[in-house]
Every structure is written in structure tokens, then in C-alpha cells.
A and B are shown apart, each in its own frame.
Chain A
Amino acid sequence: MRFDRSLWVHVLVLLGVAAVAASAQAEPVAQRQRELVNMVRQDCGSCHGLTLKGGLGPALLPENLRDKPAESLVATVMTGRPGTAMPGWAPFMNESEAEWIVQRLMQGFPPVATHMELSK
């Protein structure tokens, strides 16, 4: 098993961010974080693109999300947006995991390559 250095950089950055975040919720553990990263890149990526630059769905890069309140983004992730193609992802994650995803999206989302490395 070979660990990608960028993974550790991300983990450390994320831990640091988490430490200062005024969130009462617990962080997802490392293994779950990798699953969530993979889910966002691959499955959200079906519409938003693996690079999150957009597809049939809008781009999810930090500059696209900057002006949007985090809580409404979390609500969109959990329950979807009626009248659009955005489904709710509540069957696959809890609220604190959705918050974690939204925080990461607003900062610049971690790459999925780490998942590929780890799965070997």
C-alpha cells in the first residue's frame, strides 16, 4: 500500500480547518472522508463533472459557491432541489457529513486519486 503525500497534506489541512471550525459536529473519520470524497467526485460528478467544473449540473468550485450560504447548500445536498435534476442525498449521508462536504467544496475539494491509491 502506497500513501499519496497529497492525501496527508489534505488530511492535515482538513484536521486544522476542523480544529478551528466552530462546528459542534464531529468530523467524519478518515475512511469515511475518503468514501465521501469518492462519492462527490464520481457520483455527484456524473452531473457536476469529476473536476466539479460543471456538466448538466452547475460548477461546484469555490468561486461558484462563494456567495451562497452554507446552510442552504447543505439543505440542497440533503433534500435536493425540486424542479431541477438535483436529487436529495440523505439516504447516503447524515447532516454533519453534508456539512463536511459543503465546507470542503467551498475551500476546494480534495482529489479522488487518493482513493484509487488506497484501494489497491
Chain B
Amino acid sequence: MTVRMLGASLLCLGLLVGCAQTPVLRGTGDMGVVIERATGSVQVVEHTGRTSLGSVTGLGDLSHAHVTYSRDARYAFVFGRDGGLTKVDLLTQRIVRRVIQAGNSIGGSVSQDGRLVVAQNYQPGGIKAFDAETLELVSEVPAEYAPGKFSKVVGLADVPGQKFAYALFEAGEIWVTDFSDPRHPQTTRFPAGKQPYDGLVTPDGRYFMAGLFGEDGIALLDLWHPEKGVRKILDGYGRGEEKLPVYKMPHLRGWAMAGGYAFLPAVGRHEVLVVDTNTWTEAARVPLKGQPVFVMARPDGRQVWVNFAFPDNGWVQVIDTPTRQVIKTLAPGKAVLHMEFTPRGEEVWVSARDDNRVTVFDTNSFEVRKILPATAPSGIFFSHRAARIGF
């Protein structure tokens, strides 16, 4: 048997095995995963037919989890609370690689060129860059903000120029790390404010913002002009008002920007803040049923959907952005944890942890299109995140 024949035989074998796993050729653009937090598993789903395609188990502690996607949108990188980083193949619904990279992890993001997947960790505090193909450690940046003192890292986002921006909770700083030379990352530090709890980058990758828990305000860094440093916006937005208790930290990742205005969760106030992004000043506040957790714009920006912290976590409210009025209040189930829009926003998937279900709503009529069973579902992550800056 010649080498060529052997190669051809192996190729056939490979195709046969491949065929056995994926009976029909398909793209991954309408796929995603639903985290099942109590069982350490994910369901692989598709949003064209609104079905679950299968389940992948063995992902560790997913009580807090985040998912980002490979550049080709075929692989989901699942970050678990226990520091597990797992590469899941959406097509075969198999684990391709899995490493335990930290003691306590919060999420991660993929680099502009798709070659690095970077994890953000609480313990040990810092970020670590892995080869997106093999999950081998490439380099790391410990969040040592003073000699021997390490900070938890929050709000990591990939930004243009093969960089990552993130905030340090204890240090009160924003760091920007350049991975152009992946084994020798270069970090720039910026003072930000007290206790940044999460961060986000605008869809164009220009502005990184960190929400502050320890003071009223948001730290804003213009990545086109980093030499100008961090600017505090909405400084003292609640001055003179007594703060309400916050039973769950808001998440900023579902950046909501619509018509030149940003919609952000207030901290300790049952309001969404509306910010004019030309002047970065407060334009309005929208009163709501509880402490907002996720404030997410439908992709066209016409609506903003909001879920809430305990004890108001059975509600979802929808804001009409031109009028800044609540136009709908929904009760999708007990303990609503997350929402994810389809890529063009005609539907939204909503998870209800304590009712063990995911509800798919039509965003125009608010009618229920489908209810999918899931075990204690939390995050829902669709594959179109693969093509977005900051995810």
C-alpha cells in the first residue's frame, strides 16, 4: 500500500467517523449554548427551529459561567467558576480540550485575531492567555497592584489592536494589556475609582467603561486617546439619596446602546440610567421594578430588556428607547438570570433558573414562541458573539 493510498484510506475513515457524528452538514451561525448551572452541563441549541440539539456534561462548577466563541464560531469556550476552561465543539457536541487554569474564575474573551483566548480570574487574581487551538498557556499577567497584593479581575473585554481591557476590583484600576507579542504582553495601568465591579466596551471597541460599586459613577477610558486617562462620568449620580441594598451585582456585559444613548444599570437604585454618548452626561432615568442586573438592547436598539436582582428576579421589563417608557412587564418564571437576543433581534431567549425552563419570546408581540426545558438554566450564549468586539 502506498503512502498516498494509506492517506486516502485514513481520510475516508475520518469522513466516515465525521459523518457518524454529524449526519448533516450545517453551519453554526444559528447555534448556541445554554448553561445548566447546577449540573455542570450545557445544552447545545439552535435558534432557527428553537430546539435543543444535545447536551455536553463534565464541565465542572458552572455556578457562575461565561462563554465566548472561536473565530469560526464552531467552538464554545466555557469558563467555569472552578477555573475550568473547556473547548466544546458545537457540531459534534463533544469536549475538545479542557484545562483547569485557576482556582476561581469569572470569564474570558477571544483576541482580535482569534488566536488567543484570555481568562479573567479572581484567584489567583489576574489574566491568562491560552492558545485558542490547543489551550496551552501562552502568557499571564498577575493583577499584582502593589507588592504582594493581588486583585480580582472583572469586566475583561477584547479591544482592537490585539489588546484586552479589564478592571481590578480591589485596586480600583483599569488595565489595558497588549498581546501583539503574545509571550511578552505589555500592560498600561489607569486609576479608575472605588471597587469597579464589571466592565464593557462599546460595540466599536473605542470606549471601555467600568461600573463602580464603591462610589456613584462610571470610569470611562477612550482607547483612541489613552494618554488622556480615565474620566469619571455620571459622577455622584445618586448624591443625597439613600442607596437601596444590592442583592446581586449588576452585569454590564449586555451593553445597551441605542440612538446615541447608553442604557446602564444604576447601583443601589431601581433605575436604568440613560447617558448621552456625545457628552457622556445623564440624559434621563427610567424607574423600574427592582435593581437591574442585565440591561440589554435589542440589536436594532429600539428596545432595552432588563432583568432584576433578588427579590425582584421573577420580572423582565422592556423599555421603548425613543420614549424611555416601560412598555411591557413580563413574568417569565422564577429567578430569571439571563437573556439572549437572536442575531437580528426578532426573538429573545430568557432563562428561569428555579422553574427549570428557557422561554423564547417574540420581541414585537411579546408572545411566547417556545418553552424549552433545562435544568437550572443560567447564561444563554449564541454563536454570533464570535464576530463581535468585546465578547
Chain A hits for B106, CB < 8 A: 55
Chain A hits for B246, CB < 8 A: 85, 87
Interface size on B, residues (CB 8 A): 31
A interface footprint on B324-366 (CB within 8 Å = 1, 0 otherwise): 0000000000010000000000000000011000000000000
CB < 8 Å neighbour of A43 from B37, B82, B123, B310: B310
What total count of A-B pairs have CB within 8 Å? Answer: 63
Chain A hits for B214, CB < 8 A: 83
Query: Are A43 and B248 also in contact (CB < 8 A) when A49-B64, A116-B376 are?
Result: yes
Query: Are A46 and B310 also in contact (CB < 8 A) when A55-B64, A55-B81, A56-B152 are?
Result: yes
In the complex, chain A residues 97-120 whose Cβ is within 8 Å of any chain B Cβ: 112-113, 116, 119
Shortest beta-carbon distance from A113 to chain B in Å: 7
User: Are B310's CB and A53's CB within 8 A?
Assistant: no
CA distance A34 to B195 in the complex (A): 33
Which residue, B63, B123, B214, B376, has most C-beta atoms of chain A within 10 A? B63
CB < 8 Å neighbour of B104 from A53, A91, A92, A116: A53
Shortest beta-carbon distance from B339 to chain A in Å: 17
User: Are B245's CB and A47's CB within 8 A?
Assistant: no
User: Are B63's CB and A49's CB within 8 A?
Assistant: yes
In the complex, chain B residues 300-335 whose Cβ is within 8 Å of any chain A Cβ: 309-311, 335
Main SS at interface, chain B: loop
CB-nearest residue of chain A relative to B213? A85
CA distance A119 to B352 in the complex (A): 14
Main SS at interface, chain A: loop
Cβ of A62 < 8 Å from any Cβ of B? no
CB-nearest residue of chain A relative to B310? A43
Cβ of A42 < 8 Å from any Cβ of B? yes
Cβ of B95 < 8 Å from any Cβ of A? no
In the complex, chain A residues 51-78 whose Cβ is within 8 Å of any chain B Cβ: 51, 53-56
| Chain B residues within CB distance 8 Å of chain A | 37-38, 61, 63-64, 81-82, 104, 106, 122-123, 152, 154, 169, 195, 197, 213-214, 245-249, 309-311, 335, 353-354, 375-376
- Between-chain CB contacts (< 8 Å), 29 pairs: A43-B247, A43-B248, A43-B310, A46-B248, A46-B309, A46-B310, A47-B248, A47-B249, A49-B64, A50-B37, A50-B63, A50-B81, A51-B63, A51-B82, A53-B81, A53-B104, A55-B64, A55-B81, A56-B152, A56-B154, A56-B169, A85-B195, A85-B213, A85-B246, A85-B249, A92-B311, A112-B38, A116-B38, A119-B354
